[in-house]
């Protein structure tokens, strides 16, 4: 794994490789070689010069440590890169060296390189999102009828189904996925504007070169250079923030369900996953932990990027320079969250017997609302609520079922019949529209993802 040890909990192997020094360097060199080819096609520079530049624009053999030092001194990746590339071209073809970076500016190199990396990152994220989607669809279908405690403010509440809970996770992730896909589409644009964003150095051929360059790199050609207009990239980083938040919500739920006192679900373990160095019995929620960590990192990156949007005139001072590590961090954090939750969902074990046992352990307390509604029809909601508060206290202190306590209350004689009491604590009979909501969530999620909006 090419990630540094200190970053090993914040990325995945494919994304660490994508944002490695050699990959970032090659993306910048790809811009330079594509620019030379585009300009040669238009007769602006000789074909031999373009061939020499393309041949030299290979990351192998470049001193990345020296390049990093040069970038720090220059405040931009483009200037020291162009100097290194020009020196390398000169060794093979002195005449071609003068055509390196013809008509471009440093920010063109840096911005287009990050766009090329984003283009390669998108299918990595999409692959793991597809895995997660399939796994959650399966879980929701399998557990449409699996009753479990609802929990509000971390306290027991009337029952829900695990199928509904999984559908809620999936629908939110699908909405976020749609937004992320749209943001990627908007952001994958060539940056090519020259010194002040007018391509004046190329005269009347500026737009033609830009279109040819975009074609070489398989990127969209924008209406105009976007040197200090960072809204498209900002939308992408914001979409990462929302997606990691949705993934974090799922991770938080599963981590809570894994607690020893709950034990209703568990992410997969084994092969070094979830163990403890001192407590052999433990099965820790590692995938959830990695996702929650990402969900805590990315909002700060979103805030950083939004702050950096306020850039000066035609070239930013500080705002642009903050973007590379912010973008790389946000994409990698999003990637590790998606991959982690895909692994969790694919191997999630669900204990439906424990779910039912946890409902029964409340001795019917979670059905107090149901009893209040039944009694309220006859005596009014206020009096019914007061009686149920008292009955609930007796149920807890006496460790008896709520239905049993209610059956003994004289003031309720004739108000709740035997059949109603016998069925009071049956969770399947107090699910309301859970099944319909589950189906609607899955259906609307598909419609949202395919069309970009709800029907």
CA distance 241 to 137: 23
Are residues 371 and 383 in contact, defined by beta-carbon separation less than 8 angstroms? no
Q: What is the pLDDT of residue 279?
A: 45
Within 8 A by CB and 6+ apart from 231, the residues are 309
- Ordered alpha helix ranges (H), 188-285: 206-217, 231-257
| Short-list 130, 127, 116, 121, CA closest to 15 | 121
Are residues 426 and 415 in contact, defined by beta-carbon separation less than 8 angstroms? no
CA distance 173 to 381: 39
Are residues 293 and 334 in contact, defined by beta-carbon separation less than 8 angstroms? no
Q: What is the pLDDT of residue 63?
A: 96
Under the banding of pLDDT at 50, 70 and 90, the label for residue 214 is very high
For the chain, what percent of residues have pLDDT higher than 90? Answer: 84
Beta bridge partners of 151: 156
Under the banding of pLDDT at 50, 70 and 90, the label for residue 80 is very high
End-to-end Cα, the chain, rounded Å: 43
Q: What is the pLDDT of residue 420?
A: 83
Instruction: Kindly tell me if the per-residue pLDDT of 451 is higher than 50.
Output: no
Q: What is the pLDDT of residue 288?
A: 97
User: What is the DSSP secondary-structure string of 408-448?
Assistant: T-GGGTTTS-HHHHHTTT-GGGS-TTHHHHHHHHHHHHHHH
Q: What is the pLDDT of residue 283?
A: 75
Q: What is the pLDDT of residue 276?
A: 45
Are residues 149 and 359 in contact, defined by beta-carbon separation less than 8 angstroms? yes
Query: Which stretches does DSSP call E strand in 121-227?
Result: 147-152, 155-161
* Catalytic pick among 276, 433, 443, 450: 276
Q: What is the pLDDT of residue 206?
A: 97
Tokens of 271: 């092969």
Query: Which stretches does DSSP call E strand in 1-45?
Result: none
Q: pLDDT tens digits, residue range 245-295?
A: 999 999 999 999 999 999 999 999 766 565 544 544 557 899 999 999 999
Under the banding of pLDDT at 50, 70 and 90, the label for residue 446 is low
Are residues 115 and 78 in contact, defined by beta-carbon separation less than 8 angstroms? no
In the annotation, is 276 catalytic?
Answer: yes
Q: What is the mean pLDDT of the chain?
A: 93
Tokens of 156: 């027991």
Number of H helices, E strands in the chain: 18, 4
Q: pLDDT tens digits, residue range 388-442?
A: 899 999 999 999 999 999 888 877 767 777 788 889 999 999 999 999 999 999 9
| Cα of 262 vs its chain's centroid, Å | 27
CA distance 289 to 226: 38
Under the banding of pLDDT at 50, 70 and 90, the label for residue 445 is low
Under the banding of pLDDT at 50, 70 and 90, the label for residue 374 is confident
Q: pLDDT tens digits, residue range 9-36?
A: 999 999 999 999 999 999 999 999 999 9
* Catalytic pick among 177, 230, 297, 315: 315
Q: Which of 140-149, 256-265, 280-289, 371-380 has the lowest mean pLDDT?
A: 280-289
Under the banding of pLDDT at 50, 70 and 90, the label for residue 452 is very low
Q: What is the pLDDT of residue 425?
A: 93
For the chain, what percent of residues have pLDDT higher than 70? Answer: 94
């Amino acid at each position: 794994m090419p990630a540094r040890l200190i970053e090993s909990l914040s990325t995945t192997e494919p994304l660490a490789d994508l944002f490695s020094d050699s990959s970032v360097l090659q993306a910048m060199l790809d811009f330079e070689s594509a620019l030379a080819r585009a300009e040669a096609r238009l007769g602006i520079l000789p074909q031999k010069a373009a061939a020499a530049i393309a041949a030299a624009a290979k990351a192998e053999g470049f001193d990345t440590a020296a390049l990093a030092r040069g970038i720090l001194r220059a405040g931009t990746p483009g200037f020291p890169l162009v100097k290194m590339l020009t020196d390398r071209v000169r060794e093979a073809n002195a005449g071609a060296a003068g055509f390196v970076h013809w008509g471009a500016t440093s920010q063109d190199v840096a911005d287009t390189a990050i766009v090329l990396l984003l283009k390669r990152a998108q299918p990595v994220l999409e692959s793991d999102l597809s895995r997660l989607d399939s796994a959650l669809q399966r879980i929701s279908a399998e557990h449409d009828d699996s009753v479990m405690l609802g929990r509000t403010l971390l306290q027991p509440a009337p029952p829900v189904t695990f199928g509904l809970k999984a559908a809620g996770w999936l629908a939110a992730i699908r909405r976020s996925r749609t937004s992320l896909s749209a943001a990627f589409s908007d952001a994958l644009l060539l940056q090519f504007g020259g010194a002040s964003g007018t391509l004046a150095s190329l005269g009347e051929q500026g737009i033609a070169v830009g279109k040819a360059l975009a074609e070489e790199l398989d990127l969209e050609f924008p209406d105009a250079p976007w040197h200090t207009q960072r809204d498209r990239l900002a939308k992408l980083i914001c979409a990462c923030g929302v997606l990691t938040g949705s993934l974090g919500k799922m991770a938080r739920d599963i981590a809570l369900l894994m607690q020893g006192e709950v034990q209703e679900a568990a992410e997969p373990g084994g092969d070094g996953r979830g163990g403890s160095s001192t407590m052999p019995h433990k099965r820790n929620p590692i995938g959830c932990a990695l996702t929650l960590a990402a969900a805590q990192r990315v909002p700060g990156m979103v805030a950083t990027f939004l702050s950096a949007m306020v850039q000066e005139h035609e070239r930013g001072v500080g705002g642009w320079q903050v973007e590379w590590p912010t973008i790389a961090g946000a994409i990698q954090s999003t990637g590790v969250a998606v991959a982690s939750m895909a692994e969790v969902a694919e191997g999630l074990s669900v204990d439906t017997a424990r779910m039912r046992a946890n409902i029964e352990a409340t001795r019917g307390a979670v059905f107090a609302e149901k009893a209040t509604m039944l009694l309220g029809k006859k005596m009014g909601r206020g009096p019914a609520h007061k009686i149920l508060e008292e009955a609930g206290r007796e149920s807890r202190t006496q460790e008896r079922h709520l239905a049993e306590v209610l059956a003994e209350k004289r003031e309720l004689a004739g108000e709740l019949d035997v059949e109603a009491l016998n069925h009071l604590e049956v969770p399947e009979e107090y699910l309301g529209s859970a099944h319909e909501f589950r189906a609607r969530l899955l259906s609307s999620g598909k419609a949202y993802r395919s069309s970009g909006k709800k029907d």
